[in-house]
Amino acid sequence: MTRIAQESAAEALQYGPTEGFDETKAAVRMVMEAEGMSPEPEDIIVTTGGQQALDLIAKTLVDPGDVVVCEAPTYPGAVPVFCSYEAETHQVPMDDDGMRVDQLEELCERLASEGRKPKFIYSVPSFQNPAGVTLSLERRRRLVELAHMREILVIEDNPYGLLRYEGEAQAPLYQLDGGDYVIYVGTLSKILSPGIRIGWAVAPPPVMEKIALGKQATDLCTSTLSQYFALEYFGEGRWRDYIGSLREIYRSRRDAMLEALDRHFPPQATWTRPHGGLFVWATLPDYIDTSDLLAKALRENVAFVPGAAAYVDGRRGSNSMRLNFSASTADEIREGVRRIGAVLSEQVQLYETITSEHRLPQPAQREPSGDVVPFRAPRGEA
């Protein structure tokens, strides 16, 4: 930072090109090459975080009433984006292998019979936020095929792809597609710093033109100062090592969380076992509302994200929660999960006391309220 102040203050404090500096685009290419992609520099636009990329894409493509498809649950930050452009958002369930592409096909078919077509399909295929699951290679292929066959754009949001802790890397949708129908969104938030607000989009030229126009209207260009910081970082050449050390740290934190969940969560709960990323998604008995449970957890000084935020209707997912294992130490994670487990067990026992030992009948089994049908048994297989 001192070096930028001394050597590049004049440039770093000026406006820059709307689509970002060539050097920043080269850094973006380097990051994407690490996952097997090599986009053309003119297809890249540097944005103020991946969030802006998502907003600009939606702004460019969505008219009120247009259909947009995303996962259930979806990235909570995408919900206000789709809502603000008045999209009709459909959410497709997931399982351990990510989005149920078969159900996506059914949805597209149903829409086609009404003469409608989604403007795009939004997916976080690797270590999804919030569910933690990863789209299998087979489904990735089918999704890309579907996009080609039906001529539907796919937005691949990939903030966590480089943060894999076990298993084989999966080819990004962008790579499988070759950049025809897949618009790629990336970010430095998870591999450098969220505060620097650097993200990007890669899109085919006709879409890119409109995104650039939108970017001009929104903020002219991404902070040049931030781009200089990012370039300085990539110039040092240690970014791969840094990601390597993040992987080590996050892997041990994930392991601590999964162990703690096994130990402290009641048997009525299930959760995902992510191979990378930052999140575990837990599903609780359907009589537990995690927004209410959060009130109880906060009194124990521990928090989680209630699942309803990941649903456009704000209602489904009310019995699920997102747990983030990236930002706390392994000991803090163990203690936090212990506390959440304790308040949860208390509520489960209370419910059972009220229903089973006494005269009240167990309410009739309802339709599952969350769409991620998780996943696997909480104990045993790892």
Q: Which residues bind another protein (CB under 8 A)?
A: 287-289, 292-293, 295-296, 298, 343, 347, 349-351, 353-355, 357-361, 363-364
Between 142 and 296, CB nearer to another protein? 296
Residue whose CB is less far from another protein, 192 or 308: 308
Is the Cβ of residue 26 or residue 298 nearer to another protein in the bound state?
Answer: 298
Question: Which residue, among 376, 134, 368, has the nearest Cα to 269 in the 3D structure?
Answer: 376
In the complex, minimum distance from the CB of residue 352 to another protein, in angstroms, rounded to a whole number? 9
- Separation between Cα atoms, residue 329 and residue 256, nearest integer Å: 9
CB 351 → another protein: shortest distance, Å?
Answer: 5
Residue 358 CA to residue 335 CA, distance in Å, equals 34
Least distance in Å: CB of 298 to another protein? 7
Q: CB-wise, 167 or 363, nearer to another protein?
A: 363
Q: How far is the CB of 356 from another protein (least distance, A)?
A: 10
Q: CB within 8 A of 298, min separation 6: which ones? A: none
The 3-state DSSP class for residue 63 equals coil
Is the bond preceding residue 130 a cis peptide, omega within 30 degrees? yes
Rounded to the nearest whole angstrom, what is the least distance from the CB of residue 362 to another protein in the complex?
Answer: 9
Contacts of 178 (CB under 8 A, 6+ apart): none
Smallest gap, in angstroms, from Cβ of residue 365 to another protein? 11
- Kindly state the smallest distance separating residue 337's Cβ from another protein, in Å: 18
CB of 14 or CB of 353, closer to another protein: 353
Distances (CA, A) of 359 to 100, 254, 349, 354, 355: 41, 42, 16, 8, 7
Q: Are 129 and 96 in contact (CB under 8 A)?
A: no
Exposure string for 217-228, b = 16+ CB within 10 A, e = fewer: eeeebbbbbbbb
Complex with another protein: residue 126 or 319, whichever CB lies closer: 319
Residue type, 142: R
Output 151 or 292, the one with its CB closest to another protein: 292
Encoded tokens for 166: 């076990």
**At residue 283, what is the residue type?**
T
The reply to whether omega before 80 is within 30° of 0 (cis) is no
3-state secondary structure of 68: strand
